[in-house]
């Protein structure tokens, strides 16, 4: 009998605080996704618990040597292979310093591997994405208000949109709650509830 392969969703938890509102959105999405797709695989990577290394000069030289030799099966590229193989990707990270926590940037450096998540020599930029995923959803919360005139200052959602295109993922969306450090508690709770419902709907329609 042919073995059935179920679609796999990769959930990237880029939250760094225990009582993270962004993680609340992620958990709402994940619960609704499991209910709607009980046979699908949900692979969650919590960046705060992973032993990621920043790409330093020596690390870069080591990675480049492996790439030239075509040795992409080692632990150095494990996260890149994990990212590239997912059928869908959800990234949850709060807005910090106009983008996201440093661990998310470190993760991006680790998954950006030629020959795994993208390849050189094609496309308008000289690179073309080769990830399997058809969708990438970015979940975030923002202490201030960055829609309207201040939207140009919101760099995290913009970067993930660009990365989705770079990695060859055709569909991108962002769900957010903002003003969480500005509005009264009742209004923040309302905005969070609205964002959770959007996340649940997205999970059901995935």
Are the C-beta atoms of residues 164 and 199 closer than 8 Å to each other? no
Q: How far apart (Å, rounded) are the C-alpha atoms in residues 128 and 166?
A: 7
Cβ contacts of 173 within 8 Å, gap of 6 or more = 135, 136, 137, 138, 202
- pLDDT band, very low/low/confident/very high, at 6 (cuts 50, 70, 90): low
Which pLDDT does position 110 carry in this prediction?
A: 92
Higher pLDDT pick, 166 / 52: 166
In terms of Cα–Cα distance, which of 58, 177, 163 is closest to 105?
163
Own/partner pairs, 50-53, CB within 8 angstroms, 24+ separation: 50/79, 50/107, 52/79, 52/103, 52/106, 52/107, 52/110, 53/106, 53/110
| 41-46, strands of its sheet edge to edge | 41-46, 8-13, 88-92, 135-142, 171-178
What are the C-alpha distances in Å from 10 to residues 41, 62, 64, 122, 184? 8, 27, 26, 26, 34
Helix (H, G, I), strand (E, B) or coil at 45: strand
Task: Sort 131 into a burial class: Cβ within 10 Å, 0-12 / 13-18 / 19+.
Answer: buried
pTM of the model: 0.90
93 has a pLDDT exceeding 70: yes
* DSSP classification of residue 98: T
Q: How far apart (Å, rounded) are the C-alpha atoms in residues 156 and 164?
A: 12
Average pLDDT over residues 23-41: 96
- pLDDT band, very low/low/confident/very high, at 3 (cuts 50, 70, 90): very low
């Amino acid at each position: 009998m042919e073995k059935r392969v179920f679609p796999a969703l990769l959930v990237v938890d880029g939250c760094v605080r225990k009582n993270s509102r962004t993680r609340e959105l992620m958990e709402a999405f994940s619960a609704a996704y499991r209910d709607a797709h009980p046979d699908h695989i949900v692979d969650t990577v919590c960046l705060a618990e992973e032993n990621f290394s920043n790409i330093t000069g020596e690390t870069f030289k080591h990675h480049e040597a492996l790439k030239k030799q075509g040795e992409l099966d080692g632990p150095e590229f494990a996260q890149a292979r994990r990212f590239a193989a997912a059928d869908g990707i959800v990234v949850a990270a709060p807005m910090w310093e106009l983008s996201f926590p440093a661990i998310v940037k470190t993760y991006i450096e680790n998954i950006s591997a030629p020959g795994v998540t993208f390849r050189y020599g094609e496309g308008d930029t000289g690179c073309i994405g080769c990830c399997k995923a058809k969708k990438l959803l970015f979940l975030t919360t923002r202490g201030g208000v960055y829609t309207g005139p201040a939207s140009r200052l919101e760099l995290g959602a913009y970067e993930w949109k660009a990365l989705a295109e770079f990695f060859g993922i055709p569909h991108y969306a962002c769900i957010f709650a903002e003003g969480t450090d500005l509005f009264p508690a009742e209004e923040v709770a309302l905005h969070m509830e609205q964002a959770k419902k959007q996340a649940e709907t997205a999970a059901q329609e995935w």
